[in-house]
């Protein structure tokens, strides 16, 4: 049965009017305790759980309550598609099946296995959190304890807590924002403090406390499969009768997101140096993109406050080198990278800053490299 959160016979606008008035938000906590609202919440949850039972995704970390395996999946899936994250999760579980194994690994080993997933701070946080857990002696089993782990925010803590330990805490991610904003016609920007509070309260009010894991996973899957960002499957949606966005023609307008920072373009120039079967690389410093990863000689960077090479040295090397690729595009959050790639083979080893090390070329694959650098190296 499809839930009916508003009285039959009213227009869609009237049905959702109370969810759009500022006065409603001021009294939201009182409203969600209303018996009638709780009945609608039960109907919403029942419909969603029934959909999930027939349409939920079969994922390997859903066949366990091991908090380590669940935590690992949640960290990997931050900013990563399920298809790609699935393979990386399997690799990590095969390489380090216990949290103690991951904690004992080196940061370089973790970064190397993470290579290609991007957002490398996640890998460093994962490694640090594993060491936190080992030092604690067990995986924390409260929301407060889980939040103390490096790299774990409210969403990840709620996901781990509900799925691994049955804690009654609703998750709120992009999928949840989309489902709730469309269903209830809420047009408050989801990336504002007010928006986050409202959607968190609403999601929590809908959560059946005896099935938090199933409900949270159902919400995530419903947004990923049914109520998708583009071309949602409204005709087959079990919530279509009560969906405000469907009845008001606002599917493409919800959820609302406040405009964020302007995308910036950053230009880089790299040089692959070859000297007697060796090449020079350096580890990227803290406080910038790709912290802890390795790169060849950096000749230019339009956003760097200071380059590793003196300007005169960089210009000399560039003048002697061969340009292999130009303006190779790589997209990061709020930033577009355009990179030039040079090659120079020399009989005499150039003098480089101490932060560069010379390694045999065949060992380059043992170092964690940014995806952009991997793409550039393919031109050799």
Catalytic sites, residue numbers? 74
Question: DSSP code of 278?
Answer: E
Helical (H) or strand (E) element with 264: strand 264-274
Residue showing tokens 């230009």: 267
Residue showing tokens 């499809």: 2
CB atoms within 10 A of CB 209: 11
Tell me whether residue 157 is exposed, middle or buried, using C-beta atoms within 10 angstroms of its C-beta: 0 to 12, 13 to 18, 19 or more. buried
Cα–Cα distance between 82 and 76 in angstroms, integer?
A: 9
Report which of 259, 127, 256 is spatially closest to residue 198, judged by C-alpha positions.
256
Q: Which residues pair with 322 in a beta bridge?
A: 343
Cα–Cα distance between 168 and 205 in angstroms, integer?
A: 11
Cα–Cα distance between 314 and 316 in angstroms, integer?
A: 5
| Cis check: omega of the bond before 88, within 30 degrees of 0 | no
Q: What separation in angstroms does the CA of 78 have from each of 71, 81, 156, 214, 219?
A: 11, 8, 9, 20, 16
Ranges of H-type helices in the chain: 12-16, 22-26, 28-32, 35-55, 67-76, 82-95, 99-104, 107-114, 121-136, 143-147, 154-165, 174-184, 193-206, 212-221, 244-248, 311-320, 371-377
Structure tokens at 181: 């904003």
């Amino acid at each position: 049965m499809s839930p009916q959160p508003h009285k039959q016979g009213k227009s869609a606008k009237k049905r959702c009017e109370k969810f759009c008035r500022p006065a409603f938000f001021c009294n939201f906590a009182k409203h969600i305790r209303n018996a009638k609202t709780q009945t609608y919440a039960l109907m919403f949850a029942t419909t969603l759980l029934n959909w999930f039972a027939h349409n939920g995704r079969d994922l390997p970390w859903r066949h366990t309550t091991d908090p380590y395996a669940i935590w690992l999946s949640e960290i990997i899936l931050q900013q990563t598609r399920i298809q790609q994250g699935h393979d990386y999760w399997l690799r990590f579980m095969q390489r380090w099946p216990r949290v103690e194994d991951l904690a004992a690994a080196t940061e370089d080993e973790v970064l190397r296995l993470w290579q290609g997933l991007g957002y490398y701070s996640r890998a460093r946080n994962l490694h640090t959190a594993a060491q936190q857990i080992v030092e604690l002696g067990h995986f924390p089993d409260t929301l407060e304890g889980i939040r103390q782990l490096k790299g774990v925010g409210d969403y990840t803590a709620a996901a781990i807590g509900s799925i691994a330990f049955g804690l009654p805490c609703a998750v709120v991610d992009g999928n949840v924002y989309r489902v709730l904003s469309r269903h209830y016609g809420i047009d408050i920007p989801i990336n504002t403090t007010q928006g986050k509070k409202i959607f968190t309260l609403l999601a929590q009010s809908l959560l059946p406390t005896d099935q938090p894991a199933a409900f949270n996973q159902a919400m995530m899957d419903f947004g990923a499969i049914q109520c998708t960002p583009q071309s949602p499957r409204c005709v087959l949606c079990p919530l279509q009768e009560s969906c405000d966005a469907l009845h008001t023609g606002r599917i493409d307008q919800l959820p609302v997101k406040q405009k964020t920072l302007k995308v910036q373009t950053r230009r880089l120039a790299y040089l692959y140096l070859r000297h007697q079967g060796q090449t020079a690389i350096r580890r990227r410093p803290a406080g910038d993109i790709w912290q802890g990863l390795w790169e060849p000689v950096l000749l230019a960077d339009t956003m760097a406050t200071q380059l590793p090479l003196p300007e005169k040295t960089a210009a000399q090397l560039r003048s002697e080198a061969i340009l292999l690729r130009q303006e190779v595009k790589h997209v990061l959050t709020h930033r577009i990278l355009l990179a030039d790639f040079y090659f120079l083979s020399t009989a005499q080893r150039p003098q480089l800053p101490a932060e560069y090390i010379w390694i045999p070329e065949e060992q380059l694959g043992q170092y964690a490299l940014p995806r952009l650098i991997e793409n550039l190296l393919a031109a050799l």
